[in-house]
A = this chain, B = another copy of it.
Amino acid sequence: MKARQESLEQSLARHGVKPTPQRLEIAALMLREPCHLSADQVMAQLREAGSGVSKATVYNTLHLFSSQGLLREIAVDPSRLFYDSTTTPHHHIYNEDTGELVDVLPDELEVSRLPQLPAGTDAHCLEVVIRVRNQRK
């Protein structure tokens, strides 16, 4: 546990994030293993674990982590933002019936041609979402 904590601290520090107790709690939850969580799911898990971290801090921290490259935001469900702990390029399958989000590894999907970008803009991220639904009987 100590080692895990220390490596999380190092990981925050490496991304220029000062490790506070609240940030470490959230990091422990999001960065321990690959996951896709929305802010309210993070809140719920913190509450369940008996933590008293406030809503504003959760939002601030998730934003901070995203801007520092520790997390990636995924706009797949218009009603809420998901945070993805995998920050290397990859894509997603989104089940519209269950809300489940599955990673697609980069070698499973290939985008072979790209359009010209509008003048004065830089590409920031390429996001491919395959929307699926449960099969109807």
Interchain CA distance A58-B92 in the complex, whole Å: 31
- Does residue A68 face the partner (Cβ distance < 8 Å to B)? no
Is the Cβ of A115 less than 8 Å from the Cβ of B93?
A: yes
- A110 CB, nearest partner CB in chain B, Å: 4
Interchain CA distance A24-B102 in the complex, whole Å: 39
Instruction: Kindly report how many copies of this chain are found in the complex they form together.
Output: 2
Is the Cβ of A102 less than 8 Å from the Cβ of B118?
A: yes
Interchain CA distance A121-B105 in the complex, whole Å: 19
Main secondary structure of the interface of A (DSSP, over half): strand
Contacts of A128 in B (CB 8 A): 111, 126-129
| Chain A to chain B contacts (Cβ below 8 Å), 24 pairs | A75-B75, A78-B80, A102-B118, A108-B113, A108-B114, A108-B115, A109-B115, A110-B113, A115-B130, A118-B132, A120-B134, A120-B135, A122-B132, A122-B133, A122-B134, A123-B130, A123-B131, A124-B131, A124-B132, A126-B130, A126-B131, A127-B128, A128-B128, A129-B129
